[in-house]
Structure 1
Amino acid sequence: MSFIADKQMLDDLSLLGKFNPGSVFSLFNQVKTRGAEKLLDAMFLHPLSDVEAINNRSAVFRYFNQHPVSFPFDEKQLERMESYMDEGGDGSYIMALWELSRKKVASVLVKDDTYDLTLTGIESSISVLKACEKLLKQLEQEGRDNDQPWVKWSEIVRTITTDDRLKDFSKPARSLMDNVRLHHMLTGVFRSQLKTLLELIYETDLYLAVAGVAKAKGFSYAQALPKDRNILEAKGLRHPGLDKGVANSLSFNAGTNVLFLTGANMAGKSTLMKSTGILIYLAHMGFPVAATEVKFSILDGIYSSVNVPDDLNKGYSHFYAEVLRVKKVAEEVATDKSLFVIFDELFKGTNVKDAYDATLAVTEAFTDFTNCFFIISTHIFEVGHALNNGGSQIAFEFLPTIMNNNVPQYTYQLQKGITTDRQGMIIIENEGILDML
């Protein structure tokens, strides 16, 4: 079963978007090749749902973090080699001879450029193989060649570059027959291995880039656990886009599956909730996360309700859109899925009395689904007092506000309990809005 991640959640957490500089994708998109960028995009679109697969991918990133190497490949040469490989051949020497001879004649008679393009493909492939040899020597010198991430790549490089039929492939001047032989070897004999080699080079580019981001940002690697462990423990959690973000710790399990979060406007509730959702999503990708230590049981997906839009075409008000979102989550939770759910300011589109009653009822109902974890934030702190009956199913935490000469300041540091902070009017007065009116 694929990991559940709908458009609402992806937008709420700003996970995707190559052209969105604030997206999590853009944060990790430091690759050097288009092939690696396509692979990165595929990973972001398809988080993993298997413990072993997640931990294996995470281990590869950790390896490249601990053993960084330079990426000695030229993107243009890789692209030309890929196009050359895609053109391919039937594997026959006779056909290679006929093809290049025909192209050579056409280049002389009608100035056709296909022969030159073939030579460019050959030269690019040779340059890539030389870069592979350079990287392989670096690995051999450092004694890292037998480490898991490099094994398949190094085997293909050795198979091709040590073949006697290619021993003089790098000589500067080649005849037509030399080119025929090379064309036959590259697009016929070794075509399958070379295409695999390209894929592994793109993977290497991605692993090096992501590991480099993790090292520069001080990210760590989460440990995936079986679903039946039913835990999430995150220490030193922060938003990956904030270099100086304040770190917090969160813990969920079957005994405490709901976090009831209070705090004034601008105290950091939304950022904390988004940070948690992003961490869970990246952890299921096997990617490094913005935390110091994370252990998590694999989940079936994430749902969020942070910026629920109204729908003018369907005639939905903001409140009704919120209701439909809660209904969708309720339907999914009731199917025995293991989900992480984020509700930022439940039912903020309606009056305070209805918001109070609905938030209280929904939060109480969610405590029964102990295989799911919930973060619910609200300004209506009275709901928290009504829920706080001494049980352990709901954890009550808040983000405090410190008043300094009637100016609110925020620590962004979680504290246990329920806050009654309300600084909305103070902020309005400090901005001089009432004086303007």
Structure 2
Amino acid sequence: MVFHYRNKETIVYYMRGLEVFSKAVPIAQFFAQKDNIQPFYTDFNFLRPLANMRDKVKFLTVESKLYNEFLAVFWIVSECIKILFNIEYIVFYRLADRISKEHENIDRLFEFIGEIDAAISCASVRSGKIVTCTPVFTPENTIFYKELTHPLLMYCVPNDLELTNSSMLITGSNMSGKTTFIRAIALNALLAQTVHICFAKRYEAPFFKIYSAIRIADDLLSQKSYYLEEVLRVKNLVEASKDNNPCLFVMDELLKGTNTLERVSAGASIISFLNKQQHFVMVATHDLELTKLLQPEAFKLYHFTESVEGNMLHFDHTLKKGPLKTRNAIKILEINGYPQEIIEHSKATERALLNTSDFE
């Protein structure tokens, strides 16, 4: 009895995995019989040996299905028989040996179900109300997006973009949508190259290797400051730019962990270095100085902006050509109830700084 219950602990540990396997086999068999699935898969022989294994799994997991006291008598009798002949122990280790031998077929089982599940998910998205398209991959150094959106935003404003042999620098007011737009670009590129679907009316671009530096945080456990984390992340992009294959580099507020002068100087140098002929660089920034430092033929300038309506800011989230001409940070402070003393002092300081050469 001691031997039986000691081994039972091992069996119970693996029970959840065995139950998943037991459910997966009939699901795969169901899909394999569908006429609209069979043309895409030529070999279902991996299911036969797994179906035989399922009977042993059902024997080991039947105990978990005894939910009421009327079945307790059956459980007591079966448990006594198992203890007497070590049946459960023998069945489990024979099954374990069989699983080891059939591991390739088990891998194919879950890959098959996973592919069908992914296909159903994509079909569900395509049949929904959100606008989608099939991506077109081009060997030319050209990007064309028609009404591109971010799929996680219910009421996302669609935007168009066309670039040929050039990258993009986006400036914009706070909350105007510049970071969301470059995230939408990266996300749609990733979906285009994985599940062959894009959230746009039209998507044309090269097949990219995608790199980003958007969400960066310091690491106290590793004793790395925010700026050091930025440096290390961007260094990966610098190394990746040596690749001869097309790369998409997406960056938000580059090097914001350091002072303005060095941030702008180093940022312009890094962005220009990444912008090799076969690559595209998408940068969102508040640093308007970058619009004057980057070569106009290498970087197209775009911006998002807002309009003031009464005491409220209104954002249309529409991509516009050219650099940003307005600011709204102090206005947002005012709208959110900051003391008037802070607002007036901020405006006075802003005017003074704009009159110096450093902030022209």
TM-score by length of 2: 0.65
The equivalent of 1:32 in structure 2 is none
The equivalent of 1:264 in structure 2 is 173
Deviations 1:293-344 (A, max 9, x none): 1122112x22111121112233322122222222221122134342111110
Question: 2-side partners of 1:132 and 1:343: how far apart?
Answer: 44
Question: 2-side partners of 1:229 and 1:128: how far apart?
Answer: 44
Question: 1-side partners of 2:223 and 2:43: how far apart?
Answer: 61
SS of 2:144 mapped into structure 1: strand
Cα 1:79/1:382, change in 2 over 3 Å: same
User: 1:198 deviation in Å?
Assistant: 8.0
The equivalent of 2:298 in structure 1 is 393
Q: Say whether the 8 Å CA contact 1:381–1:420 is kept in structure 2.
A: no
Q: Say whether the 8 Å CA contact 2:150–2:180 is kept in structure 1.
A: yes
Cα 1:206/1:303, change in 2 over 3 Å: closer
Question: 1-side partners of 2:252 and 2:105: how far apart?
Answer: 50
The equivalent of 1:237 in structure 2 is 148
The equivalent of 2:58 in structure 1 is none
1:210 and 2:152 aligned: no
Question: 2-side partners of 1:269 and 1:343: how far apart?
Answer: 11
Equivalent of 1:310, from 215, 218, 225? Answer: 218
Question: 1-side partners of 2:117 and 2:218: how far apart?
Answer: 41
Q: Say whether the 8 Å CA contact 1:153–1:200 is kept in structure 2.
A: no
Task: Identify unmatched segments of 5+ residues in structure 1.
Answer: 1-75, 84-123, 137-144, 161-186
Q: Say whether the 8 Å CA contact 1:156–1:193 is kept in structure 2.
A: no
Q: Say whether the 8 Å CA contact 2:32–2:44 is kept in structure 1.
A: no
SS of 2:171 mapped into structure 1: strand
1:151 and 2:93 aligned: no
TM-score by length of 1: 0.54
Following TM superposition, where does structure 1 have runs of at least 4 consecutive aligned residues deviating by more than 4 angstroms?
Answer: 152-157, 191-202
SS of 1:261 mapped into structure 2: strand
- Which structure: larger Rg? 2
Question: 1-side partners of 2:253 and 2:328: how far apart?
Answer: 16
1:362 and 2:270 aligned: yes
Q: Trace 1:160-309 onto structure 2 (pairs within 5 A).
A: 200=112, 203-216=115-128, 217-225=130-138, 228-253=139-164, 255-256=165-166, 258-299=167-208, 301-309=209-217
RMSD across aligned C-alpha pairs, in angstroms? 3.3
User: 1:152 deviation in Å?
Assistant: 4.6
Question: 1-side partners of 2:225 and 2:107: how far apart?
Answer: 52
Cα 1:427/1:207, change in 2 over 3 Å: same
The equivalent of 2:57 in structure 1 is none
The equivalent of 2:67 in structure 1 is none
How many corresponding residue pairs? 268
Equivalent of 1:332, from 240, 246, 255? Answer: 240
Cα 1:338/1:405, change in 2 over 3 Å: same
User: 1:150 deviation in Å?
Assistant: 4.0
Question: 1-side partners of 2:121 and 2:258: how far apart?
Answer: 46
Question: 1-side partners of 2:105 and 2:177: how far apart?
Answer: 51
Q: Which letter does structure 1 place at the counterpart of 2:227?
A: F
Task: Identify unmatched segments of 5+ residues in structure 2.
Answer: 1-18, 49-97, 343-360
Equivalent of 1:371, from 278, 296, 301? Answer: 278
Moved more, 306-315 or 411-420: 306-315
User: 1:376 deviation in Å?
Assistant: 1.2
Q: Which letter does structure 2 place at the counterpart of 1:424?
A: A
Question: 2-side partners of 1:196 and 1:310: how far apart?
Answer: 41
Question: 2-side partners of 1:307 and 1:201: how far apart?
Answer: 33
Question: 1-side partners of 2:127 and 2:232: how far apart?
Answer: 41
Cα 1:151/1:319, change in 2 over 3 Å: same
User: 1:207 deviation in Å?
Assistant: 1.3
Q: Which letter does structure 2 place at the counterpart of 1:336?
A: N
Q: Say whether the 8 Å CA contact 1:222–1:286 is kept in structure 2.
A: no
Cα 1:379/1:205, change in 2 over 3 Å: closer
SS of 1:289 mapped into structure 2: coil
1:383 and 2:290 aligned: yes
The equivalent of 2:335 in structure 1 is 430
1:404 and 2:309 aligned: yes
Q: Say whether the 8 Å CA contact 1:306–1:342 is kept in structure 2.
A: yes
Q: Say whether the 8 Å CA contact 2:32–2:38 is kept in structure 1.
A: no
Moved more, 194-203 or 402-411: 194-203
SS of 1:381 mapped into structure 2: coil
User: 1:365 deviation in Å?
Assistant: 2.9
User: 1:434 deviation in Å?
Assistant: 2.5
SS of 2:308 mapped into structure 1: strand
